[in-house]
Amino acid sequence: MIQIFTHANYDFVGKRRWYYALSILGVLISLGSLIAHRGLAYGIDFSGGFLLQVRYERPVSVETVRRGLDRVGAADAVIQQFGGADEYLIRVPRQVEGPQIEALNRRVRAALSETSRVAVEIRRAEFVGAQVGQDLQMQAVYAIGAAVLGILIYLAIRFDFRGGVVATAAIAHDVIVSLGALSLTGRELSLPVLAALLTIVGYSINDTIVVFDRIRERRAAALARSRTLAALVNEAINQTLSRTVLTSFTTFLAAFVLFVFGGEVLNDFAFALVVGIVTGTYSSVAASAVLLDWETWRARRRRTAAAVRSVSDRGNA
C-alpha cells in the first residue's frame, strides 16, 4: 500500500476535546435547522407532483419563466436553472392524473412561449402521484432501517458492546450533519439524496471499523508492554492515516467532480456525498477518542470499586 505518512506520530487523542466541541456544535446546528425548517422539503419523488424540463430557443430570465407559469395557475412551482439560462427544471406540486398530464404539458408550453416570445421545447415530463410518493416514503424508511439493523448486527458480532455503540453514534453523527447541511442549503430530499445518505452510512462505518480493528489487533501487545490506552489509540490512528487519507481523498475527489460538473440532476446527490465523506473521515478519529474516554472511565470505576472493597475488607478484619 502507498504510504504518505511513513512515520506519522500525531497526537490525535490529545485534541479530543476540540473534536467533542466541534461535533456537538455541528449536531446542534443541524438539528436546529431541521427543526426550524420542519424537516427537509420533500422532492417530487416523495411528495408527488409534475416535473418539466424545458428548453428555450434563446436564454431567458427566471422572472420570464415565472410569468408564464403564473398564467396557468402554477405560481407555487419551483424553478431551477438547468445548465445554461436557456434550460430550466420546473417542479409543480400539483396532483394531476391521466389525460390531464398531457393537457397541463401543452398549457405550460404555450404559456411559456407566449410570455417569452421564444419557441419552447419540452425535453422531459415526469409525474409522481400522491400514493406513489407515500409508498416511496415508506420504502425509504424501510431501506434506512434495514441498513442500520444490518450494521448493528455486524457490529455486535465484530466488536464488543462499547465499540458497537460508539460506531453507531458515529454513523448517527454523520447522517445528522449531512441532513443539516441539506437543510441549511435549502435542498430537497429525493431518491438520489436518499441513495447518498445510505452510501454515507456504509462509508462512515467502514472507515471507523478500520481504526477500531487496528486498536483491537494491537491491544494485547500494547498492554504487555505496559503502554497506555491513549498511546495505543494514537498509534492505531497514525498507522491507518495513509489509508484513510488516500481512500477519503479519492472518494471526495470523485464526488466533488460530480458536484461541480454533474449538472442539476446529480447536484444534490453529489453535495450530500461530499459532506458525508468529510464528516465520515472526521468521525472515525473522533469515535476513537470517545472509545478511549469510555474505556478510561470504566477502568477508573473498576479501580475505585476495588479500592472501596479493599478498605471494607480491612475494616471487617
Element (H, E) at 120: strand 120-128
Nearest to 52 by CA among 100, 88, 103, 102: 88
> Is 7 a domain residue?
no
The total number of structural domains that make up the chain = 2
Asked whether residue 167 falls in the same domain as residue 27, the answer is: yes
pLDDT for residue 29 is more than 90: yes
Range picked from 123-132, 152-161, 254-263 for highest mean pLDDT:
254-263
Asked whether residue 145 falls in the same domain as residue 55, the answer is: no
Give the CATH number for residue 69.
3.30.70.3400
Identify whether the C-beta of residue 13 lies closer than 8 Å to the C-beta of residue 230.
Answer: yes
2 falls in which pLDDT band (50, 70, 90)? low
Query: Higher pLDDT residue, 51 or 29?
Result: 29
Of the chain, the percentage scoring pLDDT greater than 70 comes to 82
Average pLDDT rounded to a whole number, residues 54-58:
86
> So what's the pLDDT on residue 100?
64
Average pLDDT rounded to a whole number, residues 23-46:
85
Identify whether the C-beta of residue 211 lies closer than 8 Å to the C-beta of residue 66.
Answer: no
Distance separating alpha carbons of residues 212 and 287, to the nearest angstrom: 9
pLDDT for residue 76 is more than 80: no
Domain boundary among the residues 92, 109, 128 is at: 128
> Is 8 a domain residue?
no
Asked whether residue 35 falls in the same domain as residue 157, the answer is: yes
Domain boundary among the residues 93, 128, 163 is at: 128
Q: Is residue 31 helix, strand or coil?
A: helix
Asked whether residue 288 falls in the same domain as residue 180, the answer is: yes
Residue type, 102: E
Mean pLDDT score across all residues of the chain: 78
> So what's the pLDDT on residue 131?
54
> Is 167 a domain residue?
yes
pLDDT for residue 67 is more than 90: no
Instruction: Give the structural domain span for 29.
Output: 13-42+133-308
pLDDT for residue 54 is more than 80: yes
Distance separating alpha carbons of residues 54 and 104, to the nearest angstrom: 13
pLDDT for residue 137 is more than 70: no
pLDDT for residue 161 is more than 60: yes
pLDDT for residue 77 is more than 60: yes
Which segment of 79-83, 98-102, 121-125, 162-166 scores lowest on mean pLDDT?
98-102
Asked whether residue 31 falls in the same domain as residue 180, the answer is: yes
Average pLDDT rounded to a whole number, residues 111-133:
75
> Is 316 a domain residue?
no
pLDDT for residue 15 is more than 60: yes
Q: Is residue 26 helix, strand or coil?
A: helix
Q: 188 to each of 6, 176, 239, how far by Cα in Å?
A: 43, 15, 39
pLDDT for residue 289 is more than 60: yes
Asked whether residue 144 falls in the same domain as residue 276, the answer is: yes
Domain boundary among the residues 128, 148, 167 is at: 128
Asked whether residue 138 falls in the same domain as residue 246, the answer is: yes
pLDDT for residue 313 is more than 70: no
pLDDT for residue 262 is more than 80: no
pLDDT for residue 271 is more than 70: yes
Of the chain, the percentage scoring pLDDT greater than 90 comes to 7
Asked whether residue 163 falls in the same domain as residue 55, the answer is: no
Asked whether residue 229 falls in the same domain as residue 94, the answer is: no
> So what's the pLDDT on residue 208?
80
> Is 222 a domain residue?
yes
> So what's the pLDDT on residue 4?
62
Integer distance in angstroms from the first to the last C-alpha of the chain? 61
Asked whether residue 183 falls in the same domain as residue 293, the answer is: yes
> Is 278 a domain residue?
yes
32 falls in which pLDDT band (50, 70, 90)? very high
Each residue of 169-193: pLDDT tens digit? 888 888 899 999 998 988 888 778 8
Give the CATH number for residue 221.
1.20.1640.10
> Is 6 a domain residue?
no
Asked whether residue 273 falls in the same domain as residue 156, the answer is: yes
Asked whether residue 30 falls in the same domain as residue 72, the answer is: no
Residue 142 CA, chain-centre distance (Å), reads 17
What cell numbers appear for 67 in the block? Answer: 410569468
> Is 314 a domain residue?
no
